[in-house]
Structure 1
Amino acid sequence: MSHIYDYLSTKYHFGDITESSLKEIKLKISNFWNKIGNKWLASGKSKERFLMNNKAWLDENDIQFTVTTFVPQPSTSTAAVTSAGRPRKDFEKSSFKTKKRRVANLVESRSVSELVTAAKIAARSARQRKIANVIRDIGGTPKNIVMSKVSDSINPRQITSDEALAYIDSKSTTHSNKQTRKWETKAGHNVFPSYYSLLKSKQACYPADEHIAITETRSEINFQALLNKIVERLVLAQNEVISSVLPTSSSFTLVTKWGCDGSSGHSTYKQRFENTESTDEFLFVFSLVPLRLFDGSKIIWQNPRPSSTLYCRPIKFIFAKEMNELTLAETNKVLDKISALLPTLINFGASQISVKHDLLLTMTDGKVCNALTETLSSQKCFRSDEDKANIIIRSDEIKLKFKTETGLIVDKAKPGFGSSNDGNTARRFFKNAEVSAQITGLDVEIIKKFDVILKTLSSEFEINLDEFNKFCLETRRHYLSLYSWYNIPATVHKMLIHSTEVIKAALLPIGQLSEEAQEARNKDCRRFREYNTRKCSRVATNRDLLSMLIITSDPLINSLREIPKKKPDKICTEVLKLIVSPRTEESRSESSSYCSTIPQNSGDNTVDYSSDDSDDY
C-alpha cells in the first residue's frame, strides 16, 4: 500500500499534510486495497477475468479524500526566506522544541481535559492500551498518578540459573526450555535466564571430567570427588547456617547411606556393542543419599525426604544383569574406596571447613544381602505335587476375592520387572484388616500387630528399643500359638527377632535408612534414558544419563525447590507407644535450620509415617 500512497503524493503534490489527512488517506487506500484483494481472489487470480468482471466497478468508483496542509509561518529568526529550506522532519523524529512549536495552536485552542481525552482515544485507536491507561491515570486524581508511577517502577526479577534449574521439570528438553524463554520474552517479560546460563549452572553440578569414566557398558564417578561435590553444594545451600556456627566449630560429619539394586526391562537400542555378549536390557546401579550434616549435637542440614529420589546421587551404573558374583565384586570395590576416603576440605570465606564422611550400607534388598553374605536361599519346598496343586488353587481363590471385593491386584507379575505387590497394595491390605483376615483366613490380630511393626519401622522416628522388642516377641508368641505347623519365613524372622539389634547399630532412625530411594530411582533411569539422552552412540547415551542423574539430585538445586507438603496421617496409639519424640511434618521439612537437640513432642500426633516413593511397605 505504501507505493500507492507514494504515487498519489507525487501526482497530487500532497506536500506537508496534517496527520488527520494522512490517516484518512491511508485508511481509504487500505479499504480499496482490501476490496481489490477480495475481487482478485474471486477471479481466480486471472488478470483477464478480473478486468472483465470488475470493469464497471473500476470505471465508476473513485477514491475521494480531503487533503489539509500546514500553512507556512514566517520565520522570526531571519528577515526573509527565499529558499525552500531543508526537508520537514516527522513529528516523532523532531526535537522537543520543534514539537512544542507544532502543537502550539492545539494548546492555545483546546483545554487540558480535551487534550488528555484526545490522546487517550488516539492511543486506544492505535491499540496501545498501556499508554491509554497511563494517560487515563494522569487525567485522574493525584493518587492514581502515584500508583501509576509505582506500578511502572516495579519490574519482574529475572530468576537465577540455579532457580531456573529447580523450576524446570526433568522431562523438559533443550527445545522446550528455549521456547519457554522465547514466548515469555514476546509477552514483554524477561524472567528466565538464557540457555547459556543454564548450561553454566549444569556444569557446576558435575564433578570434574577427569573424575568421570564412561564406556559403552558402564559409567562411574570417582567416589572421593562425588562426596567432595556433595559437601561443596551443601555448604552453598546452607551458607547462613554454617556462618552462624563457624566461629565455634569448623569440623562436621556427613552421614550418607548407599547401596545397589538391579532392574530389568530397559529399552534395547539399535547400537553396536564392541562385546557381542553385552546387553542394555539390564541395569545395575549404585547410589548414595546424604542424610545429615551435623557438628556434635547441632544439625546443620537434615534431608527432608530421605526415602525420595531428590538427593539420590549416582555412584556408578553397569549394563549387566544383577548376579551374585557381580554384586559382590562391585560392592567390594566401593568398600575399598570408602576405606581410603579422606575428609573433605572446603574454603569458607577466610576459614576452612573439614567434613568427615560416615557411610552406611543400608540401601539393599534381600537378594543383595544374600549375595554379600554368601547366603544360599533356605526357602525350599518339600511338599508333594498334590499339596502344591492345592496351594495354587487356594492362592488363585484369594487373588480373585481381593480383586472382586477390594479391587486389589495381588501377586501378579509385571512384564519385565517386579509384581503388583507394591507399597499401596500393602497399605490397603493392612488398613482393611478385617476384610483381609476374612479373605485370607488369617487371624485379624496378627495382621494388626504386623501393621504396627511395619509402621513403626518406616516412621523415620527414633524407636523405643525395649518396648519395640517386647512387642515383637509378643507377636512371635501369638504367631506360634496359632500357626506352629508353619515355619516362620526368613524375612518375618529377621523382623521379629533381629530388628532391635539392627536399630541399635544404626546411627539414624531405621526409617531413614531404607532403600526406597534406590528402588524409585530405577524409574528415573528408564525415563531419562528414553527421553533425555542422545542415541548417536552408547557412550553419549551413558554420559547424558549420568548427567541427568547428577543434576536431578544436586543438593543446591533441590534446596531451591519447593517440596510439596504431604497430607499427614494420624499415628495410632500402639505406634506412639513404640517411638520416641515424634516430630511433626513441619519441623522435619525445615532443613535450612539447625538445632542442638531433637525437638520434643509438641502434643500434635498428626505425623506422616508413609514413604515418599515407596514400592515396598
Structure 2
Amino acid sequence: MEVVTRRYLFDKMIEQNSPSINDKLEYLQNYLLVSYGDSDEDKKYIKKKFSYFKTEIKKRWSKARSTLEKFLISNDAWLAGTFVIPIKTYNKPGRPTKIFSECSDRTKRRKTEEVRSSVSKEVIVHAAQVILQKEGKRNASQVLKDITNSPASANECKKIHSKSKTQDPLTPREALRMCVDADLTRSQYEIVRATNRSHFPCYELVLKAKEECYPPKETIRVTASCAESDLQSLLDHTVTRLSIFLEEVLMTLTEIERNSLQIICKWGCDGSQQAQYKQKFMNDADSDANIFLSSFVPLQIVCGKDKRKIVWQNPTPSPRYCRPIRFRFIKESVDITKDEINYVRDSVKSLKATEMELNGQKFSFSHSLKMTMVDGKVCNVATDTKSTSRCYICGATSKEFNDLSKKNEIHPESLEFGLSNLHARIRLFESILHLAYKLPVRKYRERKTEAEKMLEQQKKTEIQQRFREEVGILVDMPKCNFGNTNDGNTSRRFFENPYLAAEITGIDFNFIHRIKVILEAISSGHKIDVPKFDKYAMETAKLYVELYGWHPMTPTMHKILVHGGKVIENSLVPIGQLSEEAAEARNKHFRSYRLNFAR
C-alpha cells in the first residue's frame, strides 16, 4: 500500500478547473481508481476510504465558505494527515526469501562470503561493535571488543557461558517434592530420570528423603485393623521438620521468644465408607468396609508473651499438612466417636513441650490443639446432643429456630468446634434445595395429601433437570455405594451464580446472595470484623423468617446466622483456617493409597 498526504490529494483535486466541489471530488476519485484500482477489491476499498475523505472535505470546504485561502489556513494541520492507497504486490515465482536470522549456518556463510573476502576482519569486528553501541547494547559491544583483543578473555567467556548452561542437580528432597506434586510412581520417576541421569538423583536417595518425613518407627503401632502413631512423637517430628525449614527465621528470635514458641494445630475425626477387597482378617468381626480416622494439621507457630508474633503460617489447607493420628477399620457410631475423642483428648493432656537445639541455640515449643476438623455428627456426640434437629451450642430445637427474639444460654465449651466450613456450605446448599421443593405446598412436617406430595416431587424433578441442563451439575441424586451428589464442588457451583440459582429454585435472590457472602467470609482465611458479621447474619436470619417463616431454619443455618459471630470471636486463628476440608481430602487419599500401595 502507498501512503500520501491529504494535501497531495487536495492539490490534485484543485487541478480540475470546474468551479463545483463535487466535480473536483469526482475527478479525484476517478484519478485514484484509474491509477491504483487494479482489481475490483482495490476499487471497493478505495471507494470506501474516499467516501470518508469526501464527506470530511465537503464539510470543511463549506465551513471555509468555499474560499481557498481561508480553507488552507484553517485546515493546515488536517491536510498534513495521511491517506492510505492499496497497491497490489505480486510475489516472485519460486521459494520466498528468508530473513537472514532464520537462515541456516551454511546459507549465512554463503550470503556473507563476498563481504568476508573483500573486507578485513578488523573492519567487520569494528562495524559490529559500532552497531551494537548504537542499538544501546553497550555490554555486548564491550564483550566483543575484549574477546577479539585478548584470547585469554575469549576462553574465560566460553567457560562462564558453558557453566551457565549446566543446571545444578536436584537434591533428594527436591526430587521427592516433584514426585509428590506430580503423584509419580517409582517406574514413572525412573522414566523421567532416564532423560537426564546427572540431574535427577537415584530413587534410593529419594526413598531415604521420604523416610525422613516419617516419625520414628518405634512410635508407630500397626495391627490388622488399626494403625496409630504416638501423638507426642508425631508433634515432635512435625516441629523438627518445620524448624529445619524455618532455620533462618528462628535464629533471629530473642531468648524470650525462643522459650515461648507455640505450635497451634487443628484436629478432628471422621468416618467414611471404603471399598472392600479380597482380604482375610484374623477376627471374623473385622471388616474393611468402613474406616474411622483422626488427624491434625499444623496452622501457625507463634511466640512472645501474648503469642501475637507469627513465626510461620500454614500457606494452604492442602491435605499434605494433614497428619494421621490413628485410623481403624470400623464403622462410625456414637460410641466409636466418643472413644476416639477421649483417646485424642487424653493424648493432648499428656503432651509435653518439644525441646530442640538448632545451631547451638535451644528452642522450646508448647502445643495447642483445637478440635475443629469435625462435622455436625461429631459435634453432637462431643456435646451429648441426642437430636440432630437440636442446636448443640444453645440447645434450641427446630421449633425455636425461627424465634429470633428468644436467646438461650450458650455452652462456652461448644464454641471451640468452629463452623465446619465445608459441611456448612453443603448443608446450606441442601437446605435451600429442600426449601425450594416445598414451595408449591408451603408445608414443613404437616400431613400432605397425595396431590401435594406429587407437586413436591414434580418441583424436585424440575429443579434437578434444570440444574443438569443449565449448570451441568447433579443435585440431590444418590451415588453408587455411598452418599449423594451434594458435595463441596456442587455447592460452590450453585452459589457461583445466585441469579440463576434463584431463578431455578424460586428462592429469593437476596437471601441466596447473602448466604453466599457469609460462606465466602467464613471460608476466606482472613480475620473477620465480628460486629459487622453479626449484624449481617442477623439481617439474613430476619429476611429468612419474613419470607419463609412456615419452614424452620436447619441447625446449620441457625448455628451460622445466630451463633456465627460468637464462634468466630472465640477462635484463636481466622475461622477460615479451621476448616475440615483437609481431613475430607485425606479420606480420598486413603482410598487411593489402599488401592495403589497395598501389598
| TM-score with structure 1 setting the length | 0.60
Q: CA deviation at 1:153?
A: 4.2
Q: Which blocks of at least 5 consecutive residues in structure 2 are unaligned? A: 1-146, 390-397, 399-443
1:420-459 C-alpha deviation (Å, 9 max, x unpaired): 2233332332232222212211111111111111111111
Distance 1:402 1:242, change over 3 A: same
- Once residues 347 and 509 of structure 1 are traced to their aligned partners in structure 2, the CA distance between those partners, rounded to angstroms, is 31
Larger RCO, structures 1/2 (Cα 8 Å, 6+ apart): 1
Equivalent residue runs for 1:250-329 within 5 Å: 250-251=258-259, 252-264=261-273, 266-295=274-303, 296-305=307-316, 307-329=317-339
1:160 aligned residue: 171
1:337 aligned residue: 347
1:384 aligned onto 2:396 = no
Contact 2:354/2:365 (8 A) holds in 1: yes
SS in structure 2 of the partner of residue 284 of structure 1: strand
RMSD over equivalenced CA pairs, Å = 2.3
1:214 aligned residue: 222
Q: CA deviation at 1:235?
A: 0.4
1:217-262 C-alpha deviation (Å, 9 max, x unpaired): 1110000000000000010000000011145521201100000111
Residue from 582, 588, 594 that aligns with 1:517: 582
1:453 aligned residue: 518
Equivalent residue letter for 1:210? E
Equivalent residue letter for 1:165? L
Q: Which blocks of at least 5 consecutive residues in structure 1 are unaligned? A: 1-137, 536-617
Residue from 337, 354, 357 that aligns with 1:347: 357
Between the two proteins, what is the percent identity of the paired residues?
38
Q: CA deviation at 1:145?
A: 4.2
Q: CA deviation at 1:395?
A: 1.4
SS in structure 1 of the partner of residue 293 of structure 2: strand
Distance 1:152 1:454, change over 3 A: closer
| TM-score with structure 2 setting the length | 0.62
1:243 aligned residue: 251
Q: CA deviation at 1:377?
A: 3.2
SS in structure 1 of the partner of residue 301 of structure 2: strand
Contact 2:380/2:388 (8 A) holds in 1: no
Equivalent residue runs for 1:416-455 within 5 Å: 416-455=481-520
Contact 2:269/2:340 (8 A) holds in 1: no
1:484 aligned residue: 549
1:104 aligned residue: none
Q: How many residues in Structure 1 have an aligned counterpart in Structure 2? A: 391
Equivalent residue letter for 2:184? S
2:29 aligned residue: none
Distance 1:334 1:141, change over 3 A: same
SS in structure 2 of the partner of residue 205 of structure 1: coil
Q: CA deviation at 1:213?
A: 0.3
- Once residues 486 and 334 of structure 1 are traced to their aligned partners in structure 2, the CA distance between those partners, rounded to angstroms, is 39
- Once residues 420 and 515 of structure 1 are traced to their aligned partners in structure 2, the CA distance between those partners, rounded to angstroms, is 19
Equivalent residue letter for 1:198? V
Q: CA deviation at 1:385?
A: 5.5
1:13 aligned residue: none
Q: CA deviation at 1:144?
A: 5.6
1:494 aligned onto 2:559 = yes
- Once residues 518 and 337 of structure 1 are traced to their aligned partners in structure 2, the CA distance between those partners, rounded to angstroms, is 19
Contact 2:374/2:580 (8 A) holds in 1: yes
Q: CA deviation at 1:182?
A: 3.7
1:193 aligned residue: 201
Contact 2:268/2:371 (8 A) holds in 1: yes
SS in structure 2 of the partner of residue 374 of structure 1: coil
Equivalent residue runs for 1:107-122 within 5 Å: none
